[in-house]
């Protein structure tokens, strides 16, 4: 069964650090781009970071310089190191797998959609 399982969430004080993990199973982890997405209570989904199969990384301005995404293909694992945490980082964090691209009868599109999500891990930043 294709599965993603997050862990590592918890309560941390402002300015603190936390490392999230995402364990992948049922597929060739090294062949897929992976992302972290979060959702604060009552808010929409917010993209947090991405890592390509070649190890290239991407971040939005809200977390750049504070968060680091990484992967360990030998362990089928994705990580998110979160430093200098703020109250506004409080959210459920999900890891997600990017599906491949496709071609319709008229056009071809690169991969940009998530096909698999984890169940999420809660991060609370509070004193």
Partner 1 sequence: QSALTQEASVSGTVGQKVTLSCTGNSNNIGSYAVGWYQQISHGAPKTVMFGNSLPSGIPDRFSGSKSGTTASLTISGLQPEDEADYYCSTWDYSLSAQVFGGGTKLTVL
Q: For the segment 47-86, give every residue that binds partner 1 (CB under 8 A).
A: 47, 50, 58, 60
116 near partner 1, rule: CB under 8 A: yes
| Single residue of 8, 23, 76, 111 touching partner 1 by CB under 8 A | 111
Angle value at C-alpha 54, between 48 and 55, nearest 5 degrees: 40
CB 123 within 8 A of CB 89: yes
Residue 104 binds partner 1 (CB under 8 A): yes
Residue 37 within binding range of partner 1, rule CB under 8 A? yes
Q: Positive or negative CA dihedral for 39, 8, 21, 117? A: negative
By the criterion CB under 8 A, which residues form the site for partner 1?
A: 35, 37, 39, 41, 44-47, 50, 58, 60, 94, 96, 99-102, 104, 109-120
């Amino acid at each position: 069964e294709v599965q993603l399982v997050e862990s590592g969430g918890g309560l941390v004080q402002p300015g603190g650090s936390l490392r999230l993990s995402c364990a992948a199973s049922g597929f060739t982890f090294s062949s897929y781009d992976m992302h972290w997405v979060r959702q604060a209570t009552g808010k929409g989904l917010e993209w947090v970071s991405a890592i390509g199969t070649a190890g290239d990384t991407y971040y939005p301005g809200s977390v750049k310089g504070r968060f680091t995404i990484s992967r360990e293909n030998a362990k089928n694992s994705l990580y998110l190191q979160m430093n200098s945490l703020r109250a506004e980082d409080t959210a459920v964090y999900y890891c997600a797998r990017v599906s491949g691209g496709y071609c319709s009868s008229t056009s071809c599109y690169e991969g940009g959609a998530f096909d698999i999500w984890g169940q999420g891990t809660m991060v609370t930043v509070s004193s």
